[in-house]
Chains A and B, each alone.
Chain A
Amino acid sequence: MFAHMHVVMMDTGQHLALVAVALAISIALALPLGVLAARHPTISAPLLAALGVLYTIPSLAILALLVAYVGLGAGPALVTMVAYAQFVLVRNVAAALHGVPVAQSDAAMGLGMSDAQRLMRVELPSAFPVILGGVRIAAVALIAIASLAGYVNGGGLGTMIFDGLQRDYLEEILAGSIPIALLAIAVDTGFRLIERRASRWR
Chain B
Amino acid sequence: MNSPAGAPVRFERVSVRYSGSQTEAVDAVAFDVRPGEFVVLLGPSGCGKSTLLRTVNRLVVPNAGRVLVGDKDTATLDAVQLRRRIGYVIQAVGLFSHMTVAQNVAVVPSLLHWDRARIDARIDELLHMVRLDPARYRDRFPKELSGGEQQRVGVARALAAEPEILLMDEPFAAVDAIVRHALQDEIAEIARRLGTTVLFVTHDVDEALRLAARIAILERGRLVQYDAPLRILTAPAAPFVESLLDTHDVVRRLSLKCARDAMQPPRDGAGPDVREDVSLREILNDFLRGAATVHVLDGNARRIGSLSFGDVVAAVASS
Given B57, B99, B111, which contacts A110 in the complex, CB threshold below 8 Å? B57
Residue B108 lies at the interface, judged by CB distance under 8 Å to chain A: yes
- Also in contact, A107 and B88, with CB within 8 A (given A112-B111, A117-B111, A201-B141): yes
What separation, in Å, do the CA atoms of A111 and B99 have in the docked complex?
15
B92-136 to A contact mask, C-beta < 8 Å, 1/0: 111111110000000110010000000000000000000000000
Residue B214 lies at the interface, judged by CB distance under 8 Å to chain A: no
Given B80, B97, B158, which contacts A126 in the complex, CB threshold below 8 Å? B97
Chain A residues with CB under 8 Å of B94's CB are: 101, 103-108
What separation, in Å, do the CA atoms of A81 and B158 have in the docked complex?
47
What separation, in Å, do the CA atoms of A101 and B95 have in the docked complex?
10
What separation, in Å, do the CA atoms of A122 and B157 have in the docked complex?
15
What separation, in Å, do the CA atoms of A113 and B88 have in the docked complex?
12
Chain A residues with CB under 8 Å of B107's CB are: 111, 113, 121
Interface of chain A residues 132 through 171 with chain B (CB within 8 A): none
Residue B63 lies at the interface, judged by CB distance under 8 Å to chain A: no
Residue A185 lies at the interface, judged by CB distance under 8 Å to chain B: no
Residue B143 lies at the interface, judged by CB distance under 8 Å to chain A: yes
CB distance from A131 to the nearest CB of B (A): 12
A67-107 to B contact mask, C-beta < 8 Å, 1/0: 00000000000000000000000000000000001111111
Are A126 and B96 within 8 A (Cβ)? yes
What separation, in Å, do the CA atoms of A103 and B167 have in the docked complex?
15
Chain B residues with CB under 8 Å of A122's CB are: 96
- Also in contact, A111 and B90, with CB within 8 A (given A126-B97, A126-B98, A201-B141): no
Residue B152 lies at the interface, judged by CB distance under 8 Å to chain A: no
Closest to B83 in A: A112
Chain A residues with CB under 8 Å of B260's CB are: none
CB distance from A173 to the nearest CB of B (A): 46
Residue A197 lies at the interface, judged by CB distance under 8 Å to chain B: no
Are B59 and A109 within 8 A (Cβ)? yes
- Also in contact, A110 and B97, with CB within 8 A (given A200-B141, A201-B141): no
Chain B residues with CB under 8 Å of A105's CB are: 94
What separation, in Å, do the CA atoms of A71 and B108 have in the docked complex?
55
Closest to B57 in A: A110
CB distance from A125 to the nearest CB of B (A): 5
Residue B23 lies at the interface, judged by CB distance under 8 Å to chain A: no
> Size of chain B's interface in residues, with CB distance under 8 A?
28
Residue A128 lies at the interface, judged by CB distance under 8 Å to chain B: yes
CB distance from B91 to the nearest CB of A (A): 8
Are B90 and A112 within 8 A (Cβ)? no
Given A101, A109, A111, which contacts B92 in the complex, CB threshold below 8 Å? A101
Residue B45 lies at the interface, judged by CB distance under 8 Å to chain A: no
Chain A residues with CB under 8 Å of B57's CB are: 110
Residue B81 lies at the interface, judged by CB distance under 8 Å to chain A: yes
Chain B residues with CB under 8 Å of A125's CB are: 96, 98-99
Residue B84 lies at the interface, judged by CB distance under 8 Å to chain A: yes
> Which of A105, A108, A128 lies at the interface centre, i.e. has the most chain B CB atoms within 10 A of its CB?
A108
- Also in contact, A108 and B98, with CB within 8 A (given A201-B141, A201-B143): no
Residue A40 lies at the interface, judged by CB distance under 8 Å to chain B: no
A47-78 to B contact mask, C-beta < 8 Å, 1/0: 00000000000000000000000000000000
CB distance from B170 to the nearest CB of A (A): 12
Residue A189 lies at the interface, judged by CB distance under 8 Å to chain B: no
A176-200 to B contact mask, C-beta < 8 Å, 1/0: 0000000000000000000000001
Are B111 and A104 within 8 A (Cβ)? no
Are B111 and A113 within 8 A (Cβ)? yes
Are A107 and B90 within 8 A (Cβ)? yes
> Which of B90, B98, B108 lies at the interface centre, i.e. has the most chain A CB atoms within 10 A of its CB?
B98
Are B81 and A104 within 8 A (Cβ)? no
B162-182 to A contact mask, C-beta < 8 Å, 1/0: 000001000000000000000
* 6 closest cross-chain pairs (CB), A and B: A107-B94, A103-B92, A110-B88, A112-B84, A112-B83, A103-B94
Sample of 9 A–B contacts (CB below 8 Å):
A101-B92, A103-B92, A104-B94, A104-B97, A110-B167, A112-B80, A112-B82, A112-B86, A201-B143
Enumerate chain B interface residues (CB-CB to A < 8 A).
Answer: 57, 59, 80-84, 86, 88, 90, 92-99, 107-108, 111, 141-143, 154, 157-158, 167
Seed contacts A107-B88, A111-B83, A201-B142; 5 additional CB < 8 Å A-B pairs: A106-B90, A107-B90, A125-B98, A126-B96, A202-B143
